[in-house]
Structure 1
Amino acid sequence: MKLSRYNFLRQYDDATIFFNPLTCALAVVDENFLRVIDDVKNNSYVEENYDAKLIADMKSSGCLIEDGVDELERLEFYRNLAKYDMTNFGLTIAPTLDCNFRCKYCFETHPKGKMSSETQAALIKFVESRIKRAKIFSVTWYGGEPLLAKEIIWSLSEKFLELCKKFSIDYNAFIITNASLLEDSDVELFKKYKISGAQITIDGVKEVHDSRRRAITGESTFDRLIDRVNLLLNSGSSVVVRINIDKENIARVDELLDVLAERINKREELKIDFGQVSPFTDICKSIESDCYNNAQFADVMLPLYEKVFERGFTVNKMTAYP
């Protein structure tokens, strides 16, 4: 028996946290767990000396592995499985890269124009060639601001649903949007085209958000977005409010959570997600001094998640998990 090369232990307050990224196992562990690790390191491991359930848990978590296991080969297997397994087929589609916001940290250049009819036809042909082997087809609508091209979203969605019906495949969709262009009438179209959830970014209380995520017209967007979040939640859609974090707005995230707790109708159904602002391209290099590095960002996240739970919200587990 040997230890996985992917074991990580971290002290947090009085707790020791174990994480293995190969298996995604995460746990608060005790001294018995740590004693087994020490014994394996010191070549004094005798399995009969420990609690059977503890050893079973350590094996299933990937912490303990058989001597003959090559984890690099296993990792390569997982990579190829993800690369070639078409059971779950997913696409991120940008019907336009244009945007009606001018966020101060945005890395995009906002070229005018929308997806051409030729590209749409090629996309439909590509999807048809791929989904025959799939069981689930998932689409994430992205941009720019995708709702600047609603007619393309509706048209492509119609085609995707026809293909999924033809091949007996489940279909679902999600949209990443600033939500300013979302009209009440769009809610029924979301249902029709199986757009079951949305991510909407709100970066702080009104004055903070409006200074960071300006409409191209210069108008305030904060109150409109709160209203759109409620519209979607009331319609049964899932909503993730994304808060992009840097040194400039971190001090007032508490206030935003209080405002959301007060103004969101279905608080328990709202998920909160924190994003790390990073200077990805030369376009956003001017904000580099305001950005956290990865280690700093990890340190500020734990207290923020605690504040989210205190107010009765949930978190987006896909990004909150290590």
Structure 2
Amino acid sequence: MLIAKGDIGTIKRKQILNGYKASRFNIFSEGKEGQLILFNTYTKKLVQFPSHANGSVRDVLKNPDAAEQESDLFGFLFEREFFVSNSSDEFRRADMVHQETIPQEGTLSLIILPNEDCNFRCTYCYESFSKNFMKESVQNGINNYIRKNIKKYARLHVEWFGGEPLTAVPIVERLSKEMVRICHENKVQYAATMTTNGL
């Protein structure tokens, strides 16, 4: 694909330097013949460049000074949304799109590992267990996620897993108490199961 000259219209040099940034959803790949492939996972836009343009493309995307010197290339990439406004919150925008795809009814299913350790050492087990209990910040993050998303669902199902979840009963109890409360407040059914060796 040839690099066409981009028409950046009324975009001024100062705007190029200060007003835009490369999208965090840009990813690079290499073609079979060494060509550079640029893909944006949010817009699904894909552009292929000859191998000799590799350095210029990467420089323009990461270096405002290079964008100023390569204004045609900047315009080409800008028109195809590989640049976004500095004020653009791409994570929030992507999250909003994701939330719209989630059905308003159904089950929110979570697999939670309160502890990575196990109190058995079965000879056939291939796991190398670490003795890490779930941090309180992670526990709070789980509850915050449920609180934020639960209104979209009719049910919450939690599968307790490990390691051995019964070695972390206080964590299971703390999380369960809050999840039950959240479900009750939002009139959502709650169910939980556990994979355990029973000891």
Give the shorter-chain TM-score range.
0.3 to 0.5
Relative contact order (C-alpha < 8 Å, sep 6+): which is higher? 2
Higher Cα radius of gyration: 2
Task: Identify the structure with the greater helix proportion.
Answer: 1
Q: How high is the TM-score relative to the length of structure 1?
A: 0.30
